[in-house]
Amino acid sequence: MVADVLVAVLAGPLVASGVAKLVAPTERLSWPVGDGPLAAPHGPRLVASAELVGAVLLIVVPGRLAAVGGLVAYLALTGVSHALRGQECACFGLARLASVGRTHIVMNAVGASLGAIALLIGPGAQTALRVGVAIAATALITGVVVAVDRRARAVEAAKEKQIVERTDAVYGVQLYTTESCPSCRALKKLVAGMEPARRDAVVETVLGPDDAAPGAMAAMGVPCAQGLDGDGRRVGEPVSGIGSVKALINSIVVTARV
């Protein structure tokens, strides 16, 4: 019975994550894989399908095989999260979660530990119990993700409002990006669709793997940006994240300079 509960708990995050990726438009996902068979637009769908198939197997496969599957799946997720540290999190589709970091690694490692415990406890084959626990786990993780997403969007909206209401005129923006950043690519598409005067006021610097943005932006994720006045001096505080950077670019004064 305990083994069934542990295995079913592992299925919950896989269901929530898989469904979130399937329903999200792939062009809006901050997908961290840039090439190969798992690159967008097909990569998110393939990963989501694998997660859902894995969740079903965790529920229907009897005995220790289910525990082995959960252990292997979460060991793999632990390795992937370690490899993607610092990248935008697309774990749950469009939900705005923190970048992949220690929390992701620890949570996946905990999942692997639960799989190992279920394996040690021994056989279990109560499918009905697994279904019920998996549904509860899916609902719980979905609720947590929605709450975190709403909080992140509220914080981002507040930052964007501050940028719009700032009194210092911005005549240019120094933008910092990287080649491997999905959010940077999405931001560039947005900037490309802006009017020429605003677009020309954005100066982009592409950082290399060992490069860092100057000043306070060194501790920020990319994309990050600094507003500039008519003489190229810094105006206000630097910002990071696609929403805040876009708001800063939209605040550029595009009239002729005096």
Over residues 213-242, the pLDDT tens digits come to 998 898 888 899 999 998 999 998 899 888
CA-CA distance, 212 to 192, in Å (whole number)? 24
Structure tokens of 97?
């979660």
Residue 105 pLDDT level (bands cut at 50, 70, 90)? very high
pLDDT at 258: 45
Give alpha helix (H) positions in the chain.
2-23, 42-60, 63-83, 102-121, 127-165, 182-192, 196-200, 242-250
Is the predicted pLDDT of residue 131 greater than 70, yes or no?
Answer: yes
| More confident: 32 or 82 | 82
Is the predicted pLDDT of residue 182 greater than 80, yes or no?
Answer: no
| More confident: 184 or 255 | 184
As a whole number, the mean pLDDT across the chain is 89
pLDDT at 254: 82
Is the predicted pLDDT of residue 97 greater than 90, yes or no?
Answer: no
pLDDT at 165: 74
Q: What is the mean pLDDT of residues 141-167?
A: 84
Structure tokens of 141?
């993780």
Q: Which of 180-184, 190-194, 248-252 has the lowest mean pLDDT?
A: 180-184
Go through the domains of the chain in sequence order and give each one's CATH number: 2-159 (no CATH), 166-250 (3.40.30.10)
234 φ, ψ (degrees, to nearest 5): -65, 140
| More confident: 167 or 144 | 144
Going from the C-alpha of 189 to that of each of 66, 154, 217, the distances in angstroms are 44, 24, 22
Q: Give the three-state DSSP class for 75.
A: helix
pLDDT tens per residue, range 25-37:
887 787 878 778 8
pLDDT at 220: 85
DSSP symbols for 82-141:
HHTTTSPP-TTTT--PPPSSHHHHHHHHHHHHHHHHHHHH-----HHHHHHHHHHHHHHH
